[in-house]
Amino acid sequence: MAIQASKASNSNPMGTEQPPLSGRMRHVLSALVQNQPGVLAQVSGMFASRGFNIDSLAVSETEEAHLSRITVVVMGDDRHLEQVRKQLEKIVTVVRVQDFSRANYVERDLMLIRVHAPREKRPELQALVEIFRARIVDVGTDSLLIEISGQESKIEAFIEEMRPYGIQELARTGRIALIRGGQYQDDPESLDHDDPSIARENEPISIVQGHSDL
């Protein structure tokens, strides 16, 4: 299950202190939860109750059948998001919540898009598909179904290139993300070390700033 939307991210490359009212930035939160009914409603309800609009939400099982990973993208103040993260971890069915925003992580979004494609336009469309490293997965009498994955900026750019041809249908998974190298950004004291399948003692902390450009 995935719900998605798109918004631009903010950054502070010089590392200077931000004014109190300019602290809003794009946050990618990853919640490891028990695979039980009602968990998604609890997590999304936590954001709604605190006035956060969810830009993207993706849910799927992990390598452990009894655990699922919920990836949420929201815009908000660092301090307020940290409060939400801590509140989420108090939910019984939530194992761990990580904020990837200041870590070195890999992020992907998958999209299927059906575009109007008369035969005389197909060479142009095929050229764009190759440039964006997408692929055609179905061919209709007057349309092409294209699959593409990558960062949000790449997906948005491809959508804009397809608009002049006529977009008939579009579906996106929402963003998913994992920290590079398997490093955890969270405070080690906040991790549940009692379950060896979830975390290990002395796990390294990610100190790399900025997200993936790939």
Query: Average pLDDT, stretch 77-94?
Result: 87
Q: Is the pLDDT of residue 187 over 60?
A: no
CATH class of segment(s) 2-105+177-190: alpha beta
Residues near 103 by beta carbon (within 8 Å), at least 6 away in sequence:
179, 180, 183, 185, 206, 208, 211
CATH topology match: 2-105+177-190 vs 108-172:
yes
Dmax over CA atoms of the chain, in Å, equals 62
pLDDT at residue 123, as a whole number: 96
The chain-wide mean pLDDT, for the chain, equals 78
**Measuring CA to CA, which residue among 152, 154, 206 is closest to residue 178?**
206
CA 95, distance to chain mean position in Å, is 19
Domain range annotation of the chain: 2-105+177-190, 108-172
Which class in CATH covers the domain with range 108-172? Answer: alpha beta
Token readout for 141 is: 């009498």
pTM: 0.66
pLDDT of residue 101: 80
- Paired tokens of 163: 């608009």
Most confident of 4-8, 90-94, 105-109, 115-119: 115-119
**Any idea which residue has 């936590």 for tokens?**
46
Burial 120-134 (b: 16+ CB within 10 A, else e): ebeeebeeebeebeb
| pLDDT value, residue 203 | 37
Q: What is the pLDDT of residue 184?
A: 53
Q: Is the pLDDT of residue 116 over 90?
A: yes
